[in-house]
A and B are shown apart, each in its own frame.
Chain A
């Protein structure tokens, strides 16, 4: 659709070319085969081939050999490609921490990391924290101390909390609060989250 007062788009793209060439081919050569190729979105597939680059990474101890567009964030890759939706999108700008995962053991805002930057890396998401049916102590402590309400920031809080303990930032409640301040909880479960972390840090954290 276009409105009358605008010039036609002059810019051509590779995809345009593919589309045009498939139309030209369809007219000039064997129509059925080529038209079918266009209908099957062969141009889209070519585009995908050129636009995606290979990626090897491990998520929750499972190796993935795949290809992604370089603009796909680790967060969207986890959620939309791998359907690991435990990792949440809260801001997409690294301001809320809902997307926190562990990359080679360190907490990372997965929305600020492109998937392709994680070549060869080991990612742990909330889905990979429990040992089968046995919860990670931090997960159990979050239930015990009611460290959440709506639950949306919770996976990020828990991943951050586990890292907070392993980093050794648990000498006091105020230190825990400081090192957990990159994870926003709008329901306001902060004191309960600190309670959970205090307990886990005291009891040791064997997953």
Chain B
């Protein structure tokens, strides 16, 4: 479908495909001879496979092969020592319940599903622990991995402060659950040529992983991933089940499609790790912060370590001379976690921003006023100025929009029948990343522009943002620009993660367009044309069907001189039912301070989406395990509650929209993470303001409110 129907240049460039069903996600490509893979998963949590009987499955109708550790094809990287212990089909060890142990391939999905039910495994079982809180208790004395401790000034200065807060905060496991099920189509062709259709946040990363595992040249591998049905971090790595599918295709010489079940989405493709955090805050009676201590334990797996930035924010977000942090990971017998939107910073912000609110209450100060009082002049952690920060303005705008003046500092003051009303605020912050990317620009004599880069769009509107950047530099209407992505043969771009795509790839788009512009200007000058002549005329006059430029772009020395962050302020109004403990979010105002807003419509949607994710994190989301068996018990959308339409109130989004002078040519910083970071604390703070009940364990469910 070439025809573009965008009426407004701010509409999503791929919107027409998404609303008509023409957008093709990985599982929707038709390949000749396509077969279907269905996984068999372990029914124990820890131990070894002693036998795997696949005979019944192999005899079942339509079955082509059953691939497992008994007959896996060669994967040289898995034959070597080292790396993750979870080398799929190269080990008989079971590390978690629901671990894939075989893939049954048949000529239809139904036949593969049935045959997979016929595979029988026996095991030797080992003792296990899936209870993170218990593991933290047991781990206190052990020396575990994590990140280096951080100290500025006096350690644990809060303990001797005039006013002191010390509290513990708990987060459960959260599961990404993008709407699209994870999976892959793998097609291992003759001469070791591999074509895959993947659900990935990085086509180059997927390409590299497959090349590395099978030790084949990277050029042999083509990764396609034009449309991705959400990722939220879970598609930032090539999971073992994807490798298993490539193995299966290699073995049978046909393309194999694997689509996970929703239940499998909970076990084998990562999760936001559970965390236990202690925050100690010290302040003078006048509200000056004098000490911050942030200690965190994060969940990891026994077979692979995972760490993230849980304690980052405490180091620089508030003016404070005495700060110390500690971050340790504690293994449990579950699948390895992975970054989930906002990643560790969102985990840390729940604790820190709750504690800040607790301190404001202890000081009998307005929490907004307390935050403003301790707003840092510079980044004390790095001893550098911020490249751009407009937090005070963001506080002011948000406070006015939510109606902060209606708020009473004394909890439980606002009552409407059986409902208690409260207001909460929090801040979110995330590193304004900028990586390195290349973009190719092809300006054609018909006046159109094609831009290419091997980036991804998991939903934020990458193509739309890039198109708008190009449109503004070259003064070409957005409708004449096509941005191509999700193809590993295109120029290099990093994976879509860490809120860096617009900054990284957008800079290269900018540079390519600037270069194209000057090339055309030269051509115009050489052919005695007016400098204002349009591109198409200049190309035609020079008998050029098109001109091509490829540019690589990355940050310069300014990153050494400035501390670069995106900020968000979340304001929430809640009502809490006094008899049932039900929390309803009544109104949300999120203010983004992330430099220039390149694509206002998609940027707003991203902030709205972050708030919706934040409501889930705050109120409903928790992946629950029966620790007797090591199994998730709410691994479906009926029992794992992500917010639905009726859970979401009016959401107002405001942007400061001032260019960051140092980040990149657009002055634009990422927003994907800050949209969510801190949000759960704003809800917890609002619940406290409404009820006087401080819930330090997410999610804030009615039972916790009634019990406290």
Judge whether A151 and B23 touch: CB under 8 Å. Answer: yes
Judge whether B648 and A151 touch: CB under 8 Å. Answer: no
Instruction: Identify which of B23, B30, B232, B610 contacts A83 (C-beta below 8 A).
Output: B30
A166 close to B (CB within 8 Å): no
B458 close to A (CB within 8 Å): yes
Q: A96-B179, A177-B646, A188-B643 are contacts. A152–B55 as well, Cβ < 8 Å?
A: no
- Looking across the interface, which residue of chain A has its beta carbon closest to that of B461? A149
A104 close to B (CB within 8 Å): no
Residues of A within 8 A of B460 (CB): 149
What is the 8 Å Cβ interface bit string for chain B, positions 169-204, against chain A (1 contact, 0 not)? 000000001111100000000000000000000000
A192 close to B (CB within 8 Å): yes
Judge whether B20 and A86 touch: CB under 8 Å. Answer: yes
Judge whether B230 and A187 touch: CB under 8 Å. Answer: yes
Residues of B within 8 A of A167 (CB): none
Q: A85-B21, A89-B259 are contacts. A95–B646 as well, Cβ < 8 Å?
A: no
B5 close to A (CB within 8 Å): yes
List A residues 150-207 near B (Cβ within 8 Å).
150-155, 158, 174, 176-178, 180-194
Instruction: Identify which of A19, A91, A129, A150 contacts B636 (C-beta below 8 A).
Output: A91
List A residues 95-115 near B (Cβ within 8 Å).
95-96, 98
A5 close to B (CB within 8 Å): yes
Instruction: Identify which of B18, B114, B645, B651 contacts A193 (C-beta below 8 A).
Output: B645
CB distance from A63 to the nearest CB of B (A): 20
Judge whether A188 and B6 touch: CB under 8 Å. Answer: no
Instruction: Identify which of A95, A129, A182, A188 contacts B610 (C-beta below 8 A).
Output: A188
B562 close to A (CB within 8 Å): no
- Looking across the interface, which residue of chain A has its beta carbon closest to that of B648? A190
Judge whether B108 and A47 touch: CB under 8 Å. Answer: no
A168 to B541, CA, bound (A): 59
Residues of A within 8 A of B654 (CB): none
CB distance from B650 to the nearest CB of A (A): 7
CB distance from B26 to the nearest CB of A (A): 11
Residues of B within 8 A of A19 (CB): 59
Judge whether A79 and B55 touch: CB under 8 Å. Answer: no
A133 close to B (CB within 8 Å): yes
Stretch from B141-149, B447-455, B601-609 at the A interface: B601-609
Judge whether B24 and A186 touch: CB under 8 Å. Answer: no
Judge whether A3 and B179 touch: CB under 8 Å. Answer: no
CB distance from B41 to the nearest CB of A (A): 16
Residues of A within 8 A of B645 (CB): 176-178, 180-181, 183, 185, 190, 193-194
List A residues 1-38 near B (Cβ within 8 Å).
1-6, 8-9, 11, 13, 15-16, 19
Judge whether B459 and A151 touch: CB under 8 Å. Answer: yes
CB distance from B223 to the nearest CB of A (A): 18
Interface residues on B, range: 35 or more
**How many residues of A are counted as interface, with CB atoms below 8 angstroms from the partner's CB atoms?**
77
Judge whether A149 and B609 touch: CB under 8 Å. Answer: yes
Judge whether B18 and A151 touch: CB under 8 Å. Answer: yes
Q: A1-B71, A80-B109, A177-B645 are contacts. A90–B262 as well, Cβ < 8 Å?
A: yes
Q: A91-B262, A178-B646 are contacts. A150–B178 as well, Cβ < 8 Å?
A: yes
Judge whether A188 and B613 touch: CB under 8 Å. Answer: yes
A154 to B227, CA, bound (A): 13
B127 close to A (CB within 8 Å): no
B14 close to A (CB within 8 Å): yes
Stretch from B46-54, B210-218, B692-700 at the A interface: B46-54
Judge whether B61 and A186 touch: CB under 8 Å. Answer: no
A72 close to B (CB within 8 Å): yes
Q: A76-B110, A96-B637, A190-B612 are contacts. A15–B59 as well, Cβ < 8 Å?
A: yes
CB distance from A207 to the nearest CB of B (A): 13
Residues of B within 8 A of A16 (CB): 59
Judge whether A95 and B638 touch: CB under 8 Å. Answer: yes
What is the 8 Å Cβ interface bit string for chain B, positions 18-51, against chain A (1 contact, 0 not)? 1111111101101000000000000000000011
A117 close to B (CB within 8 Å): no
Residues of A within 8 A of B605 (CB): 146, 149, 187, 189, 192
Instruction: Identify which of B19, B70, B109, B646 contacts A139 (C-beta below 8 A).
Output: B19
Judge whether B109 and A146 touch: CB under 8 Å. Answer: no
Instruction: Identify which of A76, A79, A188 contacts B608 (C-beta below 8 A).
Output: A188
A140 to B7, CA, bound (A): 10
A42 close to B (CB within 8 Å): no
Judge whether A79 and B28 touch: CB under 8 Å. Answer: yes
Supply 20 further A-B pairs (C-beta < 8 A) apart from A9-B56, A13-B59, A142-B15. A9-B59, A16-B59, A19-B59, A44-B61, A44-B62, A85-B21, A85-B25, A86-B21, A88-B179, A91-B637, A129-B20, A144-B7, A146-B604, A148-B18, A151-B17, A152-B25, A153-B229, A154-B18, A188-B612, A189-B605
A-B contact pairs, 10 of them (CB 8 A): A44-B62, A71-B114, A72-B110, A91-B637, A126-B21, A148-B15, A149-B460, A150-B178, A151-B23, A153-B179
* Residues of A in contact with B (beta carbons under 8 Å apart): 1-6, 8-9, 11, 13, 15-16, 19, 44, 47, 51, 69, 71-72, 76, 79-80, 83-93, 95-96, 98, 125-127, 129-130, 133, 135, 139-140, 142-144, 146, 148-155, 158, 174, 176-178, 180-194
* Residues of B in contact with A (beta carbons under 8 Å apart): 3, 5-8, 11-12, 14-25, 27-28, 30, 50-56, 58-62, 66, 68, 70-71, 108-110, 114, 120, 122, 177-181, 227-230, 232, 259, 261-262, 458-461, 601-602, 604-606, 608-613, 636-638, 642-648, 650-651
